Amino acid sequence: MQVYLLGALLFFAALAVFVFQNTFMVTVHFINWTSPDVSLAVVVLIAACAGALVTFMVDSIRFFKIAKNTKELTSMNKKLQRELNSLQSEKQSRVSKDKRTEKKVEPDPQVNPEEQKPN
């Protein structure tokens, strides 16, 4: 951000020098339109402002696309977080259910190998 600010400051300083050194009158021709005599400084200032406006509009479009993408990703993240929480709670309930089932099942009595006699 500071680099852009420095660049803009240098641009406007150069523009100011140009405006003060070129004060003579010019006629601007654009397609079929011809302007009355205007100062070259005014023409340059209008062109600089038009360029800044176009740059702002292009950057605004890019910003809105990024904001839309961020909103979609945030929404998807929330949805996936809810799904993850649901799956974790389901897993937890299954684990606790399995533990309760294990406690209810009686283990087979262990037969001591010495007690078994061969036929």
pTM: 0.51
Measured CA to CA in angstroms, residue 66 lies from 32, 53, 75, 80 at distances of 40, 20, 14, 21
| Contact assessment for residue 26 and residue 40, using Cβ atoms and an 8 Å cutoff | yes
Q: What is the pLDDT of residues 29-38, one digit of tens each?
A: 888 888 888 8
Domain ranges of the chain: 2-95
Q: What is the pLDDT of residues 32-80, one digit of tens each?
A: 888 888 888 888 888 888 988 998 898 899 899 999 999 999 999 999 9
| Contact assessment for residue 18 and residue 44, using Cβ atoms and an 8 Å cutoff | yes
Paired tokens of 13: 């300083």
